Structure 1
Amino acid sequence: MKHINFFFDCGITMQSEDMELINIYLQKDTLKSVLTDLGNEEIIHFTNLNKKISNEDLLFNKQIMYVEKYKSRLLFMMDELEKLEIEVGDQNVKEMEIERVYMELEKKYNIFMELNEIKKETKANMELLSEIHKILEETEAFLGVNSNAELETIEKNNMKNIKLHVKFIPGIIDREKAMMLNKVLIGAMRRNVIINSKEVTVNGKEKIFFIIFTHGESSLYRAKEICLSLGARIIDPLDKRFNKDEKSLLSISSLISQLEVVQKNNISAIKNEAIAISNKIYTYKYFIEREIKLYKTMNFLKISSGESVVGEAWIRKSQLNELDKIINFIGKSHGRIAYEIVSHRDLTPPTFIKTNAITQSFQDMTDIFGVPSYKEYNAATFSIFTFPFLYASMFGDVGHGLILTLIGIFLIYRYNAMKGKQEILDMLLNGRYMMLFAGLYSIYFGFLYSECISTPLSLFPSQYSESGSKYIRKGGYIYPFGIDPVWHHSKEGSDFSNNLKMKLSVVIGFFHMSLGLVIAFMNSSYKNNKSKMLFQDLPKLLSFYSVIGYMIFLIFFKYVTAIDQSIMSIVVSMFTPPFKVEEPIYPGQIIIQRIIVAVFLISVISFHISQPIYLIIQGAKDSLDLFLHYVIEGIEFAIGLISHISSYLRIWAVSLAHYQLGNILFSYLIDVSWMYYIVTVPLWALFTFFLIMALEGVSTALHAMRLNWIEFNSKFYEGEGYSFRPLQFNDEESDDEE
């Protein structure tokens, strides 16, 4: 058990790969070229030797900032391509010098900025002329005469004609500001103002045209200032450029048409430039990101005042021979380079778990909870089996499982064609094997529950024969597999199914948690941590089996012997006075139960005090803190015995809800007259897909994930590691040290 590392044909890895720490010696003048070659091989994970130095003082920080400037230009152009809905042309990276990348990026960025500025100015001029045209058009329509600064007569509120020298201001304002303009003008001008307005559409936007009448130059000036302060567009009626005759309107319309042609040509030029850039965007992106990663890695290294450079890096032990070949090749190309293997006793190596298309999604699910610590048993390996099993125990149905299986097969088959289309679709594609396994397990549990599309499934002859209103059991015959479908039709069927699924969920929880406790033993054994095995893992295992294990024994015993006592009352009476057994269900029950209680108490007490005492004997300080830590941990575990096993009752609850929902849909939409099928069958299919397969399917997955993360992982999983991230240029992840 000193070195357990299983590799199955399907790529399942029980533990992370062995790592070696190396010191690598480089030359300053060829540093960048050597790192480029090492990055192309993707085998070395550099550690940061300059953690104590602030970012501002790092040697290559200025170079990183310089490259970041071009990266921002690149991101700007990528955003422009997305806005213009232009797909990236050539996705192959072409060899190019970094200086040429900088030059081309700068040139194309300046062209883009210039064209966008012209586009922006042209659009602003078009909007200005369109608004002026609309103001003149509406003013002429309102007045019905060629404009004069003096309006002879205004009739308002059925008053008599009063001859005045009246000034007016026409304009346009945003719809949401029109009411504010009206209030401010009336309040500021002391009612020495008349405002007429109407809704208009300019440049596809809802606006308000207004014309303000007032008396006196000072009032006219004040009205203009108020309009401008609220962002209104106004014109001066005395300005000869804005005479409202037909010739003036046609002139403005002609200018607008000319600007539209200019704008169209400008947009076409931008699009052509974007298409040209799209063919090189991946090349630019690759070299810019490569340059940033190179400088960040160079900041990890120790550079002396001379020519020598020292780096510290992790490498997979299995790739040491490959590293030798790479070092020899680089030495011939770039000069002296060497490495040596050093001890890593005081350092924690990174975690590298080899995955494939099948195991990757399960590993990702585990890494969200926490990356496995170095060489601890990988929780994802067990999740490949436990996650779909737990899912299926709640979603068990032959029909629904078959649908889920077919969806998984379809996503596997169409993976390459559908990948990268949409973010949500990519999430489904990443979980395609999860769906396949969950579907297959669901079919199995569907046969076990004898349910298909939430209706009873009859595979074999029933072991009961109907006699009037009763069912009589046939002698010498037992239903071969699953629940006899006759139970679904009986009055007691619901109680029987609930009772069975409730007990089954507790049994599943027992074996699931037992596996976690056994793996904790395996982790301690691999690390040769005998004190943890003896003083922590063993007491946990004994206390778990003495309470939960005995309860599971009683469940099986009750089903075999058909006793009529409550299992919970038996378990509770074990730990409560007077500790007696009123009606023994097997010989020697009282003695066995007292032994179980004694084992439980000794285990709990041992867990609380044995490990801190051992650590104090070994020279550990802060004895009070140690005792408090293990007392709290012991209390948490004792409470968790009940709360965690109770959490598995969600299997029963979700399974029951799944059956009831499907049964209701079937009863109301399928189990009706065939004349309604043209309406009910499509509705049933729609509700089945969205309510059961989608919504309830996601809910069930979350429940199964929680049981794996909390109830299972908490028994053994540290999850305090960090991922092995070799220097490479084909991904978008940061190379920063975790």
Structure 2
Amino acid sequence: MGSLFRSEEMCLAQLFLQSASAYDCISELGDLGLVEFRDLNPSVNTFQRKFVNEIKRCEEMERILVYLLREIKKADIALPEGEVNPAAPLPKHVMGIMEQLQRLEMELSEVTRNKEKLQKNLLELTEYTHMLRITHNFVQRGTERDAAQMQYEEFPVLDKDSVMDYTSMQRLGAKLGFISGLISRLKLEAFERMLWRVCKGYTILSYGEIEGTLEESPTRSVVFLISYWGDQIGQKVKKICDCYHCHLYPYPSSNEERADVVDGLQTRIQDLHTVSPRRGWYLRQVLNKASESVFTWMIQVKKMKAIYHILNLCSFDVTNKCLIAEVWCPVDDLPALRRALEDSSRKSGATVPSFVNRIPSNDTPPTLIRTNKFTSGFQNIVDAYGVGSYREVNPAPYTIITFPFLFAVMFGDLGHGLLMALFALWMVLYENDRKLKKTRNEFWNTFFEGRYIILMMGVFSVYTGIIYNDCFSKSLNVFGSGWNVRAITSSLRTLHSNDFLTLNPSTPGVFNGPYPLGIDPIWNLASNRLTFLNSYKMKMSVILGIVHMTFGVILGVFNHLHFRRRFCVVLVFLPELLFLLCLFGYLVFMILYKWMAFTAQDSHKAPSILIHFINMFLMQGDSRKPLYPGQTGLQVFLVIIAVLSVPVLLLGKPLYLYWQHNGSSHMAMYRGYERVRRSSEEEISLMRSYDLEEGTINCLPLPTPLVLQFDFADVFLHQSIHTIEYCLGCISNTASYLRLWALSLAHAQLSEVLWSMVLRVGLRVDTSFGVLLLVPVIGLFAVLTVFILLVMEGLSAFLHALRLHWVEFQNKFYSGAGIKFAPFAFSLLHTSFENDGLL
């Protein structure tokens, strides 16, 4: 609990690692995750460091492993499930892993390349076959005509369908040529237009579409045959085909040649169909073998790369036989750090063991707060505002209770809270399910990581729903109402002749006492329900807000005492607390006093708190209806105390620090000597307090003379800003807590509208069709309840609760100006895999 209440005490230490055991020591520290390393070579370029070649080798192995993973996923091969956590490989084993990966890459690349080549050949042969089949209809087989029709014409007449026979082709000799191939259906129109314009009509284009789509071809293809006259036209046609990325194939000059080509194509296609499955089976065998070890290799390479990266942060001694590292380490973990260095030195067989030496430092240590799976979500809420300064009070332990409670005040509904709690409980029970943990859906991951927060919000919403007596906008009459209608109705005629009845608690027998738990269910039927609930929830919001802010101010005392700023207890804490309690604490007192002093029977005599609170600032009271005897004098006294606390808060701290710096030194000079003060934890914190309200303390301060530099104007300006911010913040923050009332009212009204506009429609239908209509109505009601009231309203209440903690609560004592402790730990590699998209 000490670590959760305040961050861990940290220290700066030096590690002296022997060159022979440095790798093993860093590997052991990575497994434990105890320390954060500092860079001792900030001026050295990344590519000029000692172990840059080893890191390049690791990156090359990472590249091969990423390639293997991509091929495994492409082949749809299942990766092994379960957690894999192999140890970092020894440096002497690195070359073996490298050779194994390179050999596997070469084998896989060759198999993949051959497979792609076979697929490409098969596609080309298939396209050639389709081309010959379709263009066979373009060229009409010639028949021998009689001698009268066989006139040697230099330009034979073509029919309108652009169909030619082989006899005409033979008579034209080399003057008529053909180009055939395939083109995408999308490019055909532009291709035809280009041929016409460039060749000026000296070409004849015939085409036919292939039925279906070919493999490896995303679009439909079209077979074309171009007849052209002259070699120059042929060269232009070929260039146009190249521009449009046409697949050209040779066109046979006779039927006999066509038949021979078709037979050859069929034979080669059958051979490829026979060889291709064998290649695919062999490729799958290689990938299956690689998939068994790919994660193990990946983790080993990641660990190896991380170790060499840490070694690059270290510096060598003058003999180049020892590496020196500086680390931040929790004081409680120093014994474990020493044991880890001793064990790793012994395992590596080093003659001289590695050791750790704690060193003093004036640098601000990082902040470490240990959490578990339950508290980590609430700690993340606090850290999202700002990581806490070193050793200042941590708001997370109190946020565990106050955050879900304030959420529930805005969300309070028994039914909705129960649904939310059951959903979160399901996630908690199945939190170890790999399918729920390892998803790429960020929206789901957000819900899953905050499952304990959602569970607490649901449980507290059930509690506030019981207090509000609100379940899906309806009240539960468990104990029986304390109001009785029979006491004011002597006959049924009175009930039938009046739409509304006024229940006066002063009438005997009408009010029999308050409801045992929560709000009386009769208010759900009352026409002035909103008037009553608004007054109740508004006063409740003010009380909760002032108590919450007062608790935040009180927590500031622990910071002042811990950092030895005892003067801040008198000059900062007391003025802040008095200003808050004398004004707004008194408002809470009046609300509670009015609730206790006036009962339901004499509630009509109760004075207005608003009028009394306004008169308090006007220094006058209401002599006709005082809330209690001596009210006017007490209110004047409280206002005077609140007003006087402001100049104390404004001037007290700057004047004290001015006297602390100048007054004591002048007194010493007056006595004939000047005192030389050495740095102390108290004085350092005194001087730093004006720069950062919550400050930090030194870690083992150096015993050297401290040169104090004090600027009164800077301190006074800082304190002026703080005073103005605090005094105005007490007013604005109190008003900000009224969001508890506003969102609770909005949630209740939305729930009531959803009930009356949806579910009540299905319940009011007559019995003959009511059951058939009720099923879709209940489905619609459930969907709207989940998406509008649970998701949207829940998110809205969550954000408002977040604002109340960040602004209204934490700014009373929490600076959030620290640096988060980032240990060197191999356990973070799984997060790296998810970010890289490898899982």
TM-score, scaled relative to structure 1: 0.85
Match of 1:153 among 152, 158, 161: 158
Residue of structure 1 equivalent to 2:748: 659
Residue of structure 1 equivalent to 2:482: 463
> What are structure 2's unaligned runs of at least 5 residues?
143-154, 163-168, 490-494, 662-707, 833-839
Pair 1:112 & 2:105 matched: no
C-alpha contact (below 8 Å) 1:199/1:206 kept by paired residues: no
Amino acid at match of 1:516: G
C-alpha deviation, 1:513, in angstroms:
2.5
Instruction: Give me the whole-angstrom Cα distance separating, in 1, the residues matched to 2:277 and 2:718.
Output: 73
C-alpha deviation, 1:352, in angstroms:
2.7
C-alpha contact (below 8 Å) 2:378/2:400 kept by paired residues: yes
Instruction: Give me the whole-angstrom Cα distance separating, in 2, the residues matched to 1:709 and 1:243.
Output: 88
Pair 1:209 & 2:244 matched: no
Instruction: Give me the whole-angstrom Cα distance separating, in 2, the residues matched to 1:723 and 1:409.
Output: 31
Pair 1:50 & 2:139 matched: no
Instruction: Give me the whole-angstrom Cα distance separating, in 1, the residues matched to 2:106 and 2:359.
Output: 53
Residue of structure 1 equivalent to 2:238: 224
Alpha-carbon distance change, 104 to 480 in structure 1, aligned in 2, over 3 angstroms: same
Residue of structure 2 equivalent to 1:29: 20
| Matched ranges for 1:187-336 at <5 A | 188-189=198-199, 200=210, 201-203=213-215, 205-209=218-222, 211=224, 216-235=230-249, 237=251, 245=258, 248-249=261-262, 251-306=264-319, 307-332=321-346, 333-336=349-352
Give SS of 1:124's match.
helix
C-alpha deviation, 1:612, in angstroms:
4.3
Instruction: Give me the whole-angstrom Cα distance separating, in 1, the residues matched to 2:717 and 2:789.
Output: 48
| Matched ranges for 1:107-186 at <5 A | 107-141=103-137, 153=158, 155=160, 169-182=179-192, 184-185=194-195
Instruction: Give me the whole-angstrom Cα distance separating, in 1, the residues matched to 2:470 and 2:735.
Output: 25
Instruction: Give me the whole-angstrom Cα distance separating, in 1, the residues matched to 2:716 and 2:207.
Output: 82
C-alpha deviation, 1:291, in angstroms:
1.0
C-alpha deviation, 1:81, in angstroms:
2.7
Give SS of 2:70's match.
helix
Instruction: Give me the whole-angstrom Cα distance separating, in 2, the residues matched to 1:179 and 1:636.
Output: 73
Residue by residue, what CA displacement relative to the aligned partner does 1:435-472 show, whole Å, maximum 9, x if unpaired? 22212111101101101122222222112223533152
Residue by residue, what CA displacement relative to the aligned partner does 1:383-406 show, whole Å, maximum 9, x if unpaired? 211221122112211122222222
C-alpha deviation, 1:228, in angstroms:
1.9
For the aligned residues, what is the CA RMSD?
Answer: 3.7
Identity of aligned residues (%): 27
C-alpha deviation, 1:294, in angstroms:
1.3
C-alpha deviation, 1:289, in angstroms:
1.5
Give SS of 1:205's match.
coil
Pair 1:420 & 2:425 matched: no
C-alpha contact (below 8 Å) 1:25/1:308 kept by paired residues: yes
Mean alpha-carbon deviation: is it higher for 320-329 or for 309-318? 320-329
Match of 1:350 among 355, 360, 366: 366
Residue of structure 2 equivalent to 1:17: 8
| Matched ranges for 1:85-96 at <5 A | 85-89=76-80, 91-93=83-85
Give SS of 1:206's match.
coil
Give SS of 1:670's match.
helix
Q: Which has the higher strand share?
A: 1
C-alpha contact (below 8 Å) 2:35/2:823 kept by paired residues: yes
Residue of structure 2 equivalent to 1:681: 778
Amino acid at match of 1:118: N
C-alpha deviation, 1:376, in angstroms:
1.8
Match of 1:495 among 522, 531, 541: 531
Instruction: Give me the whole-angstrom Cα distance separating, in 1, the residues matched to 2:112 and 2:545.
Output: 63
Residue of structure 2 equivalent to 1:381: 397
Amino acid at match of 1:202: L
Residue by residue, what CA displacement relative to the aligned partner does 1:476-507 show, whole Å, maximum 9, x if unpaired? 41112211111111111123223333332333
> What are structure 1's unaligned runs of at least 5 residues?
1-5, 158-162
Residue of structure 2 equivalent to 1:706: 803
Mean alpha-carbon deviation: is it higher for 587-596 or for 436-445? 587-596
Instruction: Give me the whole-angstrom Cα distance separating, in 2, the residues matched to 1:711 and 1:151.
Output: 97
Residue of structure 2 equivalent to 1:101: 97
Give SS of 1:682's match.
helix
C-alpha contact (below 8 Å) 1:195/1:210 kept by paired residues: no
Mean alpha-carbon deviation: is it higher for 183-192 or for 440-449? 183-192
Give SS of 1:311's match.
strand
C-alpha contact (below 8 Å) 2:24/2:345 kept by paired residues: no
Mean alpha-carbon deviation: is it higher for 297-306 or for 12-21? 12-21
Amino acid at match of 2:382: T
C-alpha deviation, 1:284, in angstroms:
0.9
Alpha-carbon distance change, 690 to 476 in structure 1, aligned in 2, over 3 angstroms: closer
Instruction: Give me the whole-angstrom Cα distance separating, in 2, the residues matched to 1:379 and 1:329.
Output: 38
Pair 1:429 & 2:465 matched: no
C-alpha contact (below 8 Å) 1:397/1:451 kept by paired residues: yes
C-alpha deviation, 1:706, in angstroms:
3.1
C-alpha deviation, 1:347, in angstroms:
2.4
Instruction: Give me the whole-angstrom Cα distance separating, in 2, the residues matched to 1:239 and 1:537.
Output: 104
Match of 1:544 among 573, 580, 592: 580
Alpha-carbon distance change, 335 to 726 in structure 1, aligned in 2, over 3 angstroms: farther
Mean alpha-carbon deviation: is it higher for 120-129 or for 481-490? 120-129
Pair 1:403 & 2:434 matched: no
C-alpha contact (below 8 Å) 1:93/1:282 kept by paired residues: no
Instruction: Give me the whole-angstrom Cα distance separating, in 2, the residues matched to 1:436 and 1:234.
Output: 67
Instruction: Give me the whole-angstrom Cα distance separating, in 2, the residues matched to 1:440 and 1:370.
Output: 28
Residue of structure 2 equivalent to 1:3: none
C-alpha deviation, 1:293, in angstroms:
1.6
C-alpha contact (below 8 Å) 1:411/1:432 kept by paired residues: yes
User: Higher Cα Rg: structure 1 or 2?
Assistant: 2
Alpha-carbon distance change, 34 to 497 in structure 1, aligned in 2, over 3 angstroms: same
C-alpha contact (below 8 Å) 1:539/1:606 kept by paired residues: yes
Instruction: Give me the whole-angstrom Cα distance separating, in 2, the residues matched to 1:192 and 1:517.
Output: 94
Instruction: Give me the whole-angstrom Cα distance separating, in 2, the residues matched to 1:326 and 1:544.
Output: 52
Give SS of 2:524's match.
helix
Amino acid at match of 1:435: I
Pair 1:521 & 2:537 matched: no
C-alpha contact (below 8 Å) 2:38/2:326 kept by paired residues: yes
C-alpha deviation, 1:632, in angstroms:
3.8
Give SS of 2:371's match.
coil
Residue by residue, what CA displacement relative to the aligned partner does 1:402-422 show, whole Å, maximum 9, x if unpaired? 222222222222222344342
Residue of structure 1 equivalent to 2:664: none
C-alpha contact (below 8 Å) 2:138/2:206 kept by paired residues: no
Mean alpha-carbon deviation: is it higher for 551-560 or for 498-507? 551-560
Give SS of 2:220's match.
strand
Amino acid at match of 1:360: S
Residue of structure 2 equivalent to 1:646: 735
Match of 1:483 among 519, 522, 525: 519
Alpha-carbon distance change, 709 to 219 in structure 1, aligned in 2, over 3 angstroms: farther
C-alpha deviation, 1:567, in angstroms:
5.4
C-alpha deviation, 1:171, in angstroms:
4.3
Amino acid at match of 1:647: S
